[in-house]
Structure 1
Amino acid sequence: MSNSSRLSVASNSQDATSPLRLLVLSNGHGEDVIAVRILQELQRQSNPPEIFALPLVGEGRAYQQLEIPLIGSVRTMPSGGFIYMDGRQLARDVRGGLLQLTLSQIKAVRRWVSSQKKLGNKRAILAVGDIVPLLFATFSGANYAFVGTAKSEYYVRDEAGLLPRKSKDARWENFSGSVYHPWERWLMSRRRCKAVFPRDVLTTETLKQWPIPAFNLGNPMMDGLQPTFSRQQFYSRDSHQQETVRPLMVTLLPGSRPPEAYTNWEKIMIAVSALMASFQERDSVFYTSGTVVFLGAIAPGLDSNILSQSVQSQGWRAESVCPIQLPDPNILTFKQRNAYLLLTQQSYNDCLHLGDFAIAMAGTATEQFIGLGKPAIAIPGNGPQYNPAFAEAQSRHLGSSLILVEQPAEVAEIVQSLFKDPDILQIIAENGLRRMGKPGAALRIAECLQERLS
Structure 2
Amino acid sequence: MISNGHGEDLIALKILEALHRRQPAWRLKVLPLVGEGRCFQTAEREGWLQRIGPGAHLPSGGFSNQSFKALLSDLLAGLPLLTWRQWRSLRKTRHDLAGILAVGDLLPLLMAWNSRLPYGFIGTPKSDYTWTSGPGRALSDRYHALKGSEWDPWEWHLMKHRLCRLVSARDRLTARGLRRHGVKADSPGNPMMDGLCRTSAPQSLERCRRILLLCGSRMPEALSNFRRLMSALVQLQSPVPVAVLAAMGSAPAHHELRPLLEELGFRHCPPPSADLGATECWVRGPLLLLLGSGRFGQWASWGEAGVATAGTATEQLVGLGIPALSLPGRGPQFTQGFAQRQSRLLGGAVRICNSEEELGRRLDQLLNNPQLQHEMGRVGRQRMGPAGGSDAIAKQVIQQLAPER
Under a length normalisation based on structure 1, what TM-score does the superposition of the two structures give? Answer: 0.82
Equivalent-residue separation in structure 1 for 2:35 and 2:159 (angstroms):
25
- The equivalent of 1:251 in structure 2 is 212
Cα pair 2:197 2:320 within 8 Å, conserved = no
1:45-104 deviation digits (Å, cap 9, x = unpaired):
146532122222222232332222233333222322110011122222222222222223
Say if 1:93 and 1:300 are closer, same or farther in 2 by CA, change over 3 A. Answer: closer
Which of 140, 143, 149 is the equivalent residue of 2:124?
149
Cα pair 1:123 1:142 within 8 Å, conserved = yes
- The equivalent of 2:313 in structure 1 is 365
Partner letter of residue 58 of structure 2?
A: M
Partner letter of residue 315 of structure 1?
A: G
1:341-385 deviation digits (Å, cap 9, x = unpaired):
111114222221111101111111111111110110100011111
Kindly, what percent of the aligned residue pairs are identical? 36
How is 1:344-355 mapped onto 2 (pairs within 5 angstroms)? 344-355=292-303
Matched, 1:295 2:245: yes
Partner letter of residue 52 of structure 2?
A: I
Equivalent-residue separation in structure 1 for 2:69 and 2:296 (angstroms):
33
How is 1:258-297 mapped onto 2 (pairs within 5 angstroms)? 258-275=219-236, 278-279=237-238, 287=239, 290-297=240-247
Say if 1:96 and 1:400 are closer, same or farther in 2 by CA, change over 3 A. Answer: closer
Post-superposition offset of 1:43: 0.7
- The equivalent of 2:65 in structure 1 is 84
Matched, 1:104 2:85: yes
Aligned partner of residue 78 in structure 1, secondary structure: coil
Post-superposition offset of 1:390: 0.9
Equivalent-residue separation in structure 2 for 1:309 and 1:393 (angstroms):
33
Cα pair 1:42 1:48 within 8 Å, conserved = no
Cα pair 2:60 2:333 within 8 Å, conserved = no
Equivalent-residue separation in structure 1 for 2:187 and 2:290 (angstroms):
38
Matched, 1:70 2:51: yes
Matched, 1:27 2:4: yes
- The equivalent of 2:392 in structure 1 is 444
Post-superposition offset of 1:401: 0.6
Cα pair 2:171 2:187 within 8 Å, conserved = yes
Equivalent-residue separation in structure 2 for 1:366 and 1:57 (angstroms):
20
Matched, 1:194 2:165: yes
How is 1:149-168 mapped onto 2 (pairs within 5 angstroms)? 149-158=124-133, 163-168=134-139
Cα pair 2:245 2:299 within 8 Å, conserved = yes
Equivalent-residue separation in structure 1 for 2:371 and 2:31 (angstroms):
46
Aligned partner of residue 307 in structure 2, secondary structure: strand
Equivalent-residue separation in structure 1 for 2:207 and 2:159 (angstroms):
50
Larger radius of gyration: 1
- The equivalent of 1:283 in structure 2 is none
- The equivalent of 1:405 in structure 2 is 353
Equivalent-residue separation in structure 2 for 1:354 and 1:125 (angstroms):
38
Cα pair 2:234 2:287 within 8 Å, conserved = no
1:119-161 deviation digits (Å, cap 9, x = unpaired):
xxx7111001111000111122111111111111111114xxx
1:155-203 deviation digits (Å, cap 9, x = unpaired):
1114xxxx31343344234431111111111111112111111111221
Partner letter of residue 35 of structure 1?
A: A
- The equivalent of 2:260 in structure 1 is 310
- The equivalent of 2:191 in structure 1 is 220
Say if 1:323 and 1:50 are closer, same or farther in 2 by CA, change over 3 A. Answer: closer
Post-superposition offset of 1:419: 4.0
Which of 28, 41, 60 is the equivalent residue of 2:37?
60
Equivalent-residue separation in structure 1 for 2:262 and 2:52 (angstroms):
47
Aligned length: 398
- The equivalent of 2:338 in structure 1 is 390
Equivalent-residue separation in structure 2 for 1:210 and 1:169 (angstroms):
19
Query: Could you list the runs of 5+ residues in structure 2 that have no partner in the other structure?
Result: none
Aligned partner of residue 252 in structure 1, secondary structure: strand
Matched, 1:130 2:91: no
Aligned partner of residue 427 in structure 1, secondary structure: helix
Post-superposition offset of 1:418: 2.6
Cα pair 2:214 2:246 within 8 Å, conserved = yes
Post-superposition offset of 1:224: 2.7
Q: Following superposition, which runs of at least 4 residues in structure 1 exceed 4 angstroms of deviation?
A: none
- The equivalent of 1:44 in structure 2 is 21
Aligned partner of residue 275 in structure 2, secondary structure: coil
1:261-282 deviation digits (Å, cap 9, x = unpaired):
110011111111122xx32xxx
Which of 253, 265, 269 is the equivalent residue of 1:319?
269
Cα pair 1:395 1:402 within 8 Å, conserved = yes
Equivalent-residue separation in structure 2 for 1:293 and 1:302 (angstroms):
20
Under a length normalisation based on structure 2, what TM-score does the superposition of the two structures give? Answer: 0.92
* Comparing 353-362 and 297-306, the one that deviates more: 297-306
Post-superposition offset of 1:251: 0.9
Cα pair 2:171 2:384 within 8 Å, conserved = yes
Aligned partner of residue 175 in structure 1, secondary structure: helix
Partner letter of residue 179 of structure 1?
A: E
Equivalent-residue separation in structure 1 for 2:260 and 2:24 (angstroms):
52
Aligned partner of residue 399 in structure 2, secondary structure: helix
Equivalent-residue separation in structure 2 for 1:310 and 1:252 (angstroms):
16
Say if 1:144 and 1:234 are closer, same or farther in 2 by CA, change over 3 A. Answer: same
Post-superposition offset of 1:324: 7.3
Matched, 1:336 2:297: no
Cα pair 1:327 1:346 within 8 Å, conserved = no
Equivalent-residue separation in structure 1 for 2:248 and 2:41 (angstroms):
22
Aligned partner of residue 65 in structure 2, secondary structure: coil
Post-superposition offset of 1:391: 0.9
Equivalent-residue separation in structure 2 for 1:140 and 1:259 (angstroms):
36
Partner letter of residue 165 of structure 2?
A: K
Query: Could you list the runs of 5+ residues in structure 1 that have no partner in the other structure?
Result: 1-23, 117-121, 236-241, 280-286
Equivalent-residue separation in structure 2 for 1:321 and 1:126 (angstroms):
44
- The equivalent of 1:9 in structure 2 is none
Equivalent-residue separation in structure 1 for 2:292 and 2:312 (angstroms):
18
Which of 169, 176, 182 is the equivalent residue of 1:205?
176
Equivalent-residue separation in structure 1 for 2:30 and 2:247 (angstroms):
29
